[in-house]
Structure 1
């Protein structure tokens, strides 16, 4: 392994961060030439751009009848928080977690909202909890794809159509890359910075008619921060679904999002973006299957993501180095890749098993994944040698 020849071809765009993610192919700063820089988001033109972002989102996702879209602050995290603070508390809730962010939602529900009737369903990295134990008479909070572990739910089949509670789904690293039956989701959140490669800071919240009814008829017992406030004097502020945002938005970011949506249309809509993720992830999983020192962190093939693929190192000699030395080896490998300009931001999320994390979302070119893999081999061998193996 130590005698591997240094690869010659590098990824054309060696950006594999799991958020913010690489921009769409062909992106340049010319996108911003038509942005309403220096203009108010409350102006006629500003509202028109925000309304267009909402309308095009609705159309491209082919949302079911009655579903509404809002642009909110704080990226996907802000959208999830807003949904939980406004909607939870009227009935019991099941909170599912198989990655870091799912556990954040558990903490919020238990320690911040202090709900009295909560069931936690937590799984170790690499696994899903038992989806058959969920009670859909209760509200259910979950992430579609665990960004930090690469574990996803395989489909929507486990969610019944006749559920009584709401399903609240953090789908930020799944939407536009996984096949999601949106009729099974009552609240779906995501951010522009993930699958579409947009700019960070703003979140999207999609609500079903059932969620909108809950919003209109339920009043949480806790004070509501202004940033989360979707009602005024007990009535839903419907303007938020027409582009009148709760707080100031960046019109540069809005223009960039509109550009990303236009690119989605050009490549065939959501079917096109899913196909791109399928191709990139397949190339990486094929390499993993042929490489003895690494495995997918997700154990069951049906639960393996098409976007944020977590790789676990399994070579006994590397694991025998112990936590400190093996972590240093990973840091060395990541450093080597960055210094060579072959791959950036590939370290596993903190607290996860020893390994790497590589984004294969729609904006990634499959050829760049193919070109990356020899560099993974070479940098692993080099870092292994530096570790004395």
Structure 2
């Protein structure tokens, strides 16, 4: 077994994988090799994954496989979600919008929606006909969710939504947005006045602002969203009024596991491509893999990557068992994303000047991983959560 194979889960069947998991992974991998890999550079240039790809994903049963069969899903377990996010991540972080839709936004509809809401939206989420987004972050409110200023004021049998959102993944293409707004702006504490709403993109008063130009993750469209007297029926309320903050917190354990997995996959990919490169590249008559500095750097990175994989695999099993691992998930999210960000320049350095060229994947990874310690709750917030769990 080569050193790469030790840390490369792409070709390893983990203990909790069943035959069905392996078949799903292999089928998805073949699909992505055919339908994503040849076009991914073009999507990065265009800064958008086309809707045709979403629909092909849906047609093949790769979106929202966890949804119950009565709504058109496979009724699959959490491992299918893990596989989906890992395989998308191996192609490139720019495909993360599909994972956000399938693994983060759609579960809000499934877990907190009424039967009518689930029947109306989940089949389209599965087929790729409906692309979803979640609108939390605002120009003046990021990790401090209680500080949002978007309001949803009751008006008879309707709510009137006003506010602005930013950094919204799938913001350009979204057909359905889960909007976080304050139904009671005077609530004390403030988070008790937060509610969630389902807003369709053709609702009068809703508009999209700029398509944001990011440092990395170019093909994942990200936008500003504007709500100007957007009138939605009371039936658009998702979950209970005033319980939006608690609904969001309930889903964060899974979201942060997926965030940690995204960083882990990037770390594994960077390590493996660097191992391959240093064995092929020569300097002073020898492969640069024979230099002690190269060996020490890669030995350290391989150790960190293996530790990260062991940690996330343990958390996956515990999450499926229904255990409360909020502290451990916070640890994984910050440590793995921080390690991955530190690895990126080291791997680029070992590629030399070629690592700075766009045709080498390490350049894209270098850009993409920079945001990992920021989204899904900044790493500083993760450390605050960990500190509180320690009684500090």
TM-score bin, normalised by smaller chain: under 0.3
Calculate the TM-score normalised by the size of structure 2: 0.27
Q: Which has the higher helix share?
A: 2
Higher RCO, 1 vs 2 (CA within 8 Å, ≥6 residues apart): 1
